[in-house]
């Protein structure tokens, strides 16, 4: 279980009135699953995603009620259900309209929480402690994203949950290179890992310094010759072959350190990879001191990524280099690996380019690289391929599937293209005017749909695969009327004014999601028999 | 590939309505201090296609392949760098705009984004009436020129006559002792005449309401004066001509009422209501806006409508409405469509024939059914297999192309598809393949396909004589 949305309700308070964008959304995304969210423009697909990440612009938007649980263990969930029932019962006694949000529930459970806290301090065995902790987590809705402070949410965004936006050009920052933008994400969320890499490199450099290793700065052309010498490349060891291959892939005029055969660009007076002195080093007497200071700082950073002293150093302009430059370099190096992972050709070059220099597909790939950099548990893809061509779309979807198979992350795919959903998703939620109308496996929703809206939607799309020639040129089914204005949504079921199967009850009461068959939820008073069509 | 004349894809008649021959559009790229031409963007590079009466020809391809540029070239919204576009006996590509004005009236276009193609400051009525008014003006322009020239000649003739007459009248008047009244009457006459000219010039554009009455009154005054002051035949004839013009010639103009009637008819045709007449585009939903666009395109009773991605910006349920509308209009009005899109399922649903474009060239043309059942060009194969199908049970082996569409400034040598093609062999890299006939109204530009079909000559014109094995 990764994400569970319960009764999410988001409103936008505008001058014209309250736009009831989301009205009690329930959704579940499990590890390794791809869940599609389809619906027409303005049905609340994107608002759902933004609400989960707490990115709703406020004002005018507010999340009125609901809870979003991330990574809630099953045991805690079972306990929470008990506590919720208790709390809701108490709340309803006070106010019949009480909504299921975490804050009022926690308030209602105050005595229990205090009792648990006092029991925790006096707990003796480990087991008892664990049990009480779980109960405490359940009672305080520990895993609810909507009640967490903003700092905690920031650590989740881009880290545990990342999001791919529709238009890669507007989602990427035009004034930073691709490599820097990916490095930024890593520096925010993966500081310890980067620190480890930096420290390893520092150690190497310090050792080289102790041994007084000197190297020469060679062009790649010279480096190839001198590395080869008069040896036969066929008899190289694996390591040597790797180095030689890397040298061959470089452009002729790039600078290489002769001590470690890696790139040594720029004006550094020592090799950035191995620390060998490459030329006259003005800073040599201080280099050791600077490096040991850097090492101390990075160790400190490794111990606590949010260390106050390191932050202070980072805030002072002249000292900033001590805590940033190596981290940034390491981040960019990591970014290049990520770009290679999403199969961008020449990742080193692309990492140094700006978004406008790339084509649409490349931009979306680098966006995916950025989002995958932190190994998210959940990837929210908001219309990831809408701005792309079909052949590129196929590439991107294939890439997302491959990355999912590798990391076992969950994907919440928001789209209006039923074709993509059918192709990629395991489960589908069909949204209409701020509601989930139908939810089930792709097979259930596409072949045994029960909600009249889903049915109409499926009939209104032209198809060509697996379709007979007679169906061509025939009139498509049309759902009569148009999407309601959510300032004044229809009473009862929001679909009833357009529904050919509407009953009287539809005009007054909103249908709840009911399980029609295992895993197939439908919100309708008068569902279409599974697989049937409506006139 | 059986040639079945009763197949649903077969166009009703075979007469060619619009034919493009080797149309090219090379946009110059300028740079440097002197803005010299540094290269060309070869947006459309040698496209030939025929549009038969009553059919729907779909042009498909990825973004940047030149579909929309092609549409603009056919309409002469852009001046092509080379090539010919034959329509109604004229070459739209090279003749002067003045000459082909009437022909272009029969070619209309619906654009992709329904909001940005409607002027937000005009009401629906004005938007739909605009082509009517513009073309009425352009139709009557020769008439106006003739009338004005006639009037100038009249003024010249009158002034000579008047000079003689005034001398005569002045002499007689002085003699009669009414020296004062002569000039006053003359001034009145001149004012009425020149005022009438101005009124006429201004009002001719849209002679309705006040403008009509203005001209009528002045013509009347002219008549009265010409009869009362100094009776002369020229002036009387002129006034009579003017009045006759107002009552007879004007009938050929579209009046405000007629425009409203026509607009209402059009609105009804595209499924909008009377109360929408005076609303602004922002008050409509996306689907309704696209209906307004269609109504505007229909205003002049065109033969051909070029639809540039008409449903790409719309939701699926709205897309269904627009597609139904387009299909019913085609049967009702006998329209011919050139349908530009990248959505293959829409193409399959609506098109009789398909032309597949890649990097500024057509790579395959043929009957929709044939192309979808058995694509011949590797790019068409990849395109059709890459399109997601809205049916989870249909599992198709997908061909996923590596790389992206080549830059139109420096297209690859030989076949433009060869860097991404899995069938490419030597000639593909060197020689540019031409469209060859693969039988059954099918044309393909691919060496590998030609080889597979057993046509030895690689796509040359001589290959078209042979028939492909089925």
To probe the interface with A, which of B8, B61, B313, B316 has the most A CB atoms within 10 Å?
B316
Mean pLDDT of A368-378: 87
Statement to judge: residues B298 and B377 lie in one domain: yes
Contacts of A393 in chain B (CB under 8 A): 386, 388
Q: What is the pLDDT of residue A90?
A: 82
Q: Is the pLDDT of residue B4 over 60?
A: no
Return the number of other C-beta atoms located less than 10 Å from residue B173's C-beta.
Answer: 17
CATH number at residue B46: 3.40.50.300
Contacts of residue B135, Cβ cutoff 8 Å, sequence gap at least 6:
B105, B300
> How far off is chain A from B437, nearest CA to CA, in Å?
24
Residue of B nearest to A477 (CA): B320
For residues A417-428, average pLDDT: 90
The answer to pTM > 0.80 is: no
Q: Which residue of A has its CA nearest to B345?
A: A463
Q: Edge-to-edge strands of the sheet including B107-110?
A: B107-110, B304-308, B336-341, B56-60, B353-358, B361-367, B442-444, B436-439
Interface of A with B in 330-389 (CB under 8 A): 359-362, 389
Would you say residue B8 lies in a domain?
no
Same domain as B93, residue B139 = no
Average of per-residue pLDDT values in chain B: 79
The better pLDDT of the pair B449, B219 is held by B449
- Say how far residue B188 (Cα) sits from the centre of its chain: 49
Looking only at the bridges linking them, the beta strands covering B90-91 and A161-164 are unpaired
Cβ distance B392 to A447 less than 8 Å, yes or no, reads yes
R_g (Cα) of chain B, nearest Å: 31
The predicted-structure confidence for A143-201, as pLDDT tens digits, reads as follows 888 888 888 888 888 888 988 888 888 888 999 999 999 998 888 888 888 888 888 88
pLDDT-wise least confident of A392-396, B170-174, B267-271, B280-284:
B170-174
Do residue B445 and residue B316 come from a single domain? yes
Based on the domain organization, do B297 and B439 belong to the same domain? yes
Do A443 and B393 make contact, defined as CB atoms within 8 angstroms? yes
Residues A22-40: pLDDT tens digits? 888 889 899 989 999 998 8
Q: Is residue B273 part of a domain?
A: no
Question: What's chain A's length in residues?
Answer: 535
Q: Is residue B261 part of a domain?
A: no
List, for residues B89-137, the tens digit of each pLDDT value.
888 888 888 788 888 889 999 988 888 899 998 889 889 988 887 777 6
Whether residues B304 and B399 fall in one domain: yes
Coil, helix or strand at residue A418: helix
**Average pLDDT rounded to a whole number, residues A249-261:** 78
- Residue pair B276/B282 in contact (Cβ under 8 Å)? The answer is no
Residue B403 lies in a domain: yes
pLDDT (mean) for B39-54: 90
Strand order of the sheet with strand A378-382?
A161-164, A378-382, A410-415, A34-38, A427-432, A435-441, A520-522, A514-517
Rounded distance between C-alpha atoms, residue B310 and residue B307, angstroms: 6
pLDDT in tens, B247-291: 655 555 556 677 888 899 999 999 898 888 888 999 888 889 999
**Rounded to a whole number, what is the largest CA-CA distance in chain A?**
91
B303 shares its domain with B241: no
User: Do B161 and B234 fall within a single domain?
Assistant: yes
Which structural domain range is residue B366 located in?
16-121+280-465
Q: What is the average pLDDT across A206-233?
A: 77
Distance CA A10, CA A55 (A): 12
Which residues of chain A make contact with B320, given a CB cutoff of 8 A? 460-462, 476-478
Q: In chain A, where are the structural domains located?
A: 73-142, 186-214+259-353, 216-258, 429-522
The verdict on residue B259 lying in a domain is no
- Name the strands in the sheet holding B36-52, side by side, starting at the edge strand that comes first in the sequence: B36-52, B16-31, B82-87, B90-91
Query: Does residue B171 form part of some domain?
Result: yes
Question: Whole-angstrom Cα distance, residue A410 to residue A404?
Answer: 7
A480 touches chain B (CB under 8 A): no
Parallel/antiparallel/unpaired status of strands A435-441 and A61-70: unpaired
ipTM for the predicted complex: 0.75
| Max avg pLDDT among A201-210, A284-293, B421-430 | B421-430
Higher pLDDT, B194 or A243: A243
Q: How many domains does chain B have?
A: 2
Which among A40, A422, A475 is the nearest to B390, CB-wise?
A: A422
């Amino acid at each position: 279980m990764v994400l569970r949305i319960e009764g999410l309700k988001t409103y936008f308070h505008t001058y014209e009135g309250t736009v009831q964008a989301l009205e009690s959304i329930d959704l579940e995304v499990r590890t390794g699953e791809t869940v599609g969210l389809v619906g027409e423009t303005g049905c609340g697909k994107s608002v759902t995603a933004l609400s989960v990440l707490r990115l709703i612009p406020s004002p005018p938007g507010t999340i009125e009620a609901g809870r979003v649980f991330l990574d809630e263990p099953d045991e805690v969930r079972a306990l929470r259900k008990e506590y919720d029932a208790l709390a809701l019962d108490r709340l309803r006694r006070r106010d019949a309209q009480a909504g299921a949000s975490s804050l009022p529930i926690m308030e209602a459970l105050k005595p229990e929480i205090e009792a648990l806290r006092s029991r925790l301090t006096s707990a003796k065995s480990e087991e008892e402690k664990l049990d009480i902790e779980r109960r405490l987590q359940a009672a305080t809705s520990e895993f609810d994203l909507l009640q967490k402070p903003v700092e905690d949410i920031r650590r989740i965004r881009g880290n545990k949950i990342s999001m791919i936006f529709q238009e890669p050009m507007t989602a990427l920052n035009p004034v930073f290179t691709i490599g820097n933008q990916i490095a930024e994400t890593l520096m925010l969320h993966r500081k310890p890992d980067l620190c480890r890499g930096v420290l390893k490199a520092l150690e190497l450099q310090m050792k080289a310094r102790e041994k007084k290793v000197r190297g020469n700065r060679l062009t790649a052309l010279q480096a190839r010759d001198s590395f080869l010498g008069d040896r036969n490349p066929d008899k190289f060891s694996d390591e040597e072959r790797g180095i030689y291959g890397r040298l061959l892939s470089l452009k002729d005029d790039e600078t290489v350190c002769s001590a470690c055969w890696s790139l040594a660009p720029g004006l550094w007076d020592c090799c950035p990879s191995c620390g060998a002195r490459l030329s006259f080093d003005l800073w040599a007497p201080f280099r050791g001191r600077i490096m040991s200071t850097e090492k101390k700082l990075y160790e400190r950073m490794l111990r606590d990524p949010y260390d106050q002293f390191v932050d202070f150093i980072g805030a002072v302009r002249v000292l900033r280099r001590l805590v940033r430059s190596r981290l940034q370099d390491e981040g960019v190096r990591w970014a290049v690996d990520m770009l290679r992972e999403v199969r961008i050709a020449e990742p080193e070059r692309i990492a140094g380019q700006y978004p406008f220099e790339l084509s649409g597909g490349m931009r979306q790939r680098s966006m995916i690289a950025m989002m995958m950099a932190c190994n998210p548990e959940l990837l929210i893809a908001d219309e990831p391929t809408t701005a792309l061509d079909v052949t590129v779309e196929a590439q991107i979807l294939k890439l997302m599937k491959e990355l999912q198979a590798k990391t076992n992350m969950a994907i919440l795919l928001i789209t209006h293209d039923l074709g993509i959903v059918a192709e990629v998703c395991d489960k589908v939620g069909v949204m209409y005017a701020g509601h989930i109308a139908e939810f089930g496996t792709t097979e259930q929703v596409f072949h045994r749909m029960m909600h009249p809206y889903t049915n109409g939607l499926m009939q209104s799309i032209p198809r060509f695969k697996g379709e007979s020639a007679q169906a061509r040129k025939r009139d498509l089914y049309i759902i009569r009327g148009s999407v309601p204005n959510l300032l004044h949504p229809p009473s009862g079921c929001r679909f009833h004014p357009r529904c050919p199967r509407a009953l009287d009850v539809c005009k007054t009461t909103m249908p709840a999601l009911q399980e029609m068959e295992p895993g197939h939820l439908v919100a309708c008073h008068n569902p279409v028999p599974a697989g049937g069509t409506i006139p | 590939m059986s040639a079945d004349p009763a197949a649903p894809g077969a166009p009703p008649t075979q007469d060619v309505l619009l034919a493009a021959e080797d149309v090219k559009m090379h946009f110059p790229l300028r740079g440097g201090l002197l803005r010299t031409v540094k290269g060309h963007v070869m947006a459309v590079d040698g496209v030939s296609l025929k549009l038969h009466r009553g059919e729907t020809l779909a042009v498909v391809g990825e973004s940047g392949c030149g579909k929309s540029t092609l549409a603009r070239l056919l309409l002469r919204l852009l001046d092509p760098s080379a090539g010919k576009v034959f329509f109604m006996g004229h070459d739209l590509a090279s003749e002067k705009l003045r000459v082909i004005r009437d022909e272009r009236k029969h070619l209309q276009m619906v654009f992709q984004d329904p909001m940005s193609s409607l002027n937000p400051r005009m009401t629906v009525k004005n938007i739909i009436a605009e082509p009517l008014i513009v073309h009425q003006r352009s139709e009557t322009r020769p008439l106006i020129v003739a009338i004005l020239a006639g009037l100038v000649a009249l003024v010249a003739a009158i002034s000579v006559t008047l000079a003689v007459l005034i001398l005569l009248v002045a002499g007689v008047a002085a003699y009669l002792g009414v020296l004062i009244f002569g000039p006053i009457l003359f001034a009145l006459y001149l004012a009425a005449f020149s005022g009438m000219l101005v009124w006429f010039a201004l009002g001719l554009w849209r002679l309705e309401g006040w403008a009509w009455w203005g001209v009528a009154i002045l013509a009347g005054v002219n008549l009265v004066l010409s009869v009362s002051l100094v009776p002369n035949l020229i002036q009387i004839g002129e006034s009579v001509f003017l009045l006759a013009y107002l009552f007879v010639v004007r009938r050929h103009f579209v009046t405000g009422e007629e425009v409203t009637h026509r607009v209402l008819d059009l609105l009804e045709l595209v499924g909008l209501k009377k109360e929408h007449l005076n609303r602004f585009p922002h008050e409509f939903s996306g689907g309704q806006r696209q209906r307004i666009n269609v109504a505007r395109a229909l205003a002049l009773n065109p033969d051909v409508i070029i639809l540039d991605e008409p449903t790409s910006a719309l939701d699926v349920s709205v897309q269904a409405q627009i597609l139904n509308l387009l299909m019913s209009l085609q049967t009702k009005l006998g329209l011919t469509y050139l349908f530009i899109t990248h959505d293959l399922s829409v193409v399959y649903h609506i098109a009789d024939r398909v032309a597949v474009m890649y990097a500024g060239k057509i790579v395959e043309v043929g009957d929709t059914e044939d192309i979808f059942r058995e694509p011949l060009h590797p790019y068409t194969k990849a395109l059709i297999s890459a399109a997601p199908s809205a049916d989870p049970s249909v599992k198709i082996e997908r061909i996923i192309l590596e790389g992206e569409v080549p830059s139109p400034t420096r297209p690859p040598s030989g076949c433009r598809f060869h860097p991404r093609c899995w069938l490419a062999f030597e000639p593909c890299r060197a020689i540019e393949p031409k469209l060859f006939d693969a039988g059954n109204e099918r044309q393909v530009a691919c060496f590998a396909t030609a080889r597979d079909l057993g046509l030895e000559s690689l796509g040359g014109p001589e290959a078209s004589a042979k028939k492909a094995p089925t």
